[in-house]
Structure 1
Amino acid sequence: MTCCKPVAASKRSHLMLSLLGALIGSSLLSAPAAAANFPITTEQRDTAGRVAQAGVPLSELSPNAPDSHTVKAGDTLWHISSLFLKSPWRWPELWGMNMEQIRNPHLIYPGQVLLLVKVDGRARLQLAQNLGGATASSNVRLSPQIRSSAVDQSPITSLPLHLIAPFLNEAVVFDSDALNQAPRIVAAQEGRVLLSRGDVAYVRGDLSQAREYRLFRQPKALLDPSTREILGYEAGYLGTAEHTRAADEQKLPDGKTREVPATITITSIRQEVGVGDRLAPIPPREFTSYAPHSPDKPISGQLVSIYGEALTAGQNQIVALNRGARDGVERGHVLALWRAGRTVIDTTDAKRPELKLPDERHGLLFVFRVFERVSYALILSVQEPVKPGDAFSQP
């Protein structure tokens, strides 16, 4: 299977030029070593340079944008961005001030005070420290300063990671039906039909690749809603298991041998496990900064399925999209959800013509996992339940 590159490495990651980059300034000189994982590219600095002098038109601010905001534990970049901007993914437009001091625009810490400065019809965000009575309306240049305080030193995340963390290793699409050739459970301890945490099972197949494995149900094909093309094979996640004893052979009196399957122990469970379920090695945990951003070119498609067994989905649920890395989808993309317009009869016209009402935008998606032809997205907001076949586009 193929995933897109991490957001931090993407050449198109204008996303990382967050509005919050303008706020950090020299305070990041004392940031932890994790900052090195998010280098600033030449393209990002160029983008920042273009807006450094101009700021953002006041018309692009949220109608209720506050004059200041104190970062709190539990805040996310998405939440803070939405406080100040109509479109939270347009972060570069508030980034660029004090560029000579900025080292990393990706780490924001609880306790920092963000100040919205409005001058000559434009707006900028700055880090407010020891203002000495200055206010948002004062024409005073505010310089970030290093400070020491007993605040939580963990940087805030881009968005609530607890909503997608369980799916980073669970939502898996295989480019082919290779899982059919993967190791499989052939028998259970004491003849049990269904297994739970702590139970022992027996496996045929090559388990030499790892010690820890994910357990999957037989994969199902994901079909494009329009073309019916097979986009990949989604495997239902069941849990994890540990390889505890290698396979062996039993020698029989007649000189022949009989296979002794390997042994696994179920270590965690999301659904009950049974004979016929498949194993795949657990990949390294992904620690990517998920910063929302708009696609840099037009993109559109449809929802393929709702993750799990639901027929419709609402806010904070996971959906599969019929676009992937080959279509330019990136981890962090924000996409608009559309509700198809109804077909109605014009009863005011004697001829009673049939009319197609326009499609209406009614929600937002956030892409967090990308495969070659399929992506998984979190529903950030939605007015009505969504279903497979519903359309999406760039916001």
Structure 2
Amino acid sequence: MKRIAFLIPALLAAPLTAQQAFTLPNGMQVRLFEDHSLPLVQGELRLALPPAREDGEAWLRPFGFRLLAEGGSGSRTAAAFAQAADALGLDLRLARGPLQATWTFAARSQDQEAALGLLADRVTRPVFDPLALEPARLQAWSDLTNADALARARLRFARSLEALPLPAERDLASVDPARLAAWHRRLFRPDRATLVLWGDLDLAQARQLAVLSFGAWPAATSPETPLKPAAPDSGPFLAALPGEAPVVSIGLVADGVDAPQRRFLWGWMDAQLQAAGLQPSREEDDGAVSLRVSGPLGTAAETLHARLAGALDALPKALTAESFAAWKAQAAQKAALAGLHPGQRIHAASAPTEAPADLDAAKAVLTRWCAETNRRLFASGDPGALQGLQASAAATPNR
């Protein structure tokens, strides 16, 4: 059966509805935007993740989420799960950031119970197949030891922005289905989950669906026992590419900075950095920000790094009372327009944005976010262009 995404543009004309909310006995939060204009239900499930610095098995996340997304669920094998989803025209998508994982979906009204059941199976009852484990283990180790210097440096840079330690070969070798199941029980808890639904169902139906699909998800019975985390690699991450022009990126670790306020300030930061001729980007809602600049062959990467660092240093000073007030007004206008789009309303319900209380508070957020200790450096290019950065790295111990 064809996917049903073609229906979603028609939702732009949907009447607005007030948010309705309730909490299941196991602690899972549910939010509903009721709209019966089309026979369609869509939504997302967000799972809050603890900061990597508080999780001794944070290095398992890329590996575990990969197996979870590709494996079976409930009583179904991976192939049977895919077949059941295809029969419904259901496309479950997973996006993972440093502080949350998000599954999005859309289903016809008549299939909403089956669709929510599949989502619940995927999230709460995964099957970690021993036959799939070894290929995934080999691929994970191959990614970490990639002979391609650029690919290896990029992977390590990306992991550092999530504050994820790199596993040793013995770590990957120790992973088995029992350990993955224990990891899943510890990390996947209903009190960390928020289900947001929009579409052709009322509050009573939403409550019944949530209870049927997620009511059996066991609540956390005792406080989580912290595991001592390994120290993440803080770089710098350099890839020597003979004859190539230099490219330099600085990434900002998101951990430790209030997420709703980061979301509010990101648009202003983006405009400032683009005006400076840089190439800023952000991974998902709670992902790390990075900015990039390149130069012609012969340019020292150290010079490009200084340009990026200077732009970050200047951000708190660039935020004035006038620009802060103007951005608050602009952000409010954007939020009002986004409220006309159902997908954006779902998004805003589970990823709220909050303006700092005043200018001083906003500057404090920017200062924490852009602090030197939050920065990670990636550079590629001709070995001669990287010499200055290599010398600085050798003289400065890892943070």
Same fold (TM over 0.5): no
Greater RCO between the two (CA within 8 Å, min separation 6)? 2
More helix by share: 2
Specify the structure having the higher radius of gyration (Cα): 1
TM-score of the superposition, structure 2-length normalised?
A: 0.22
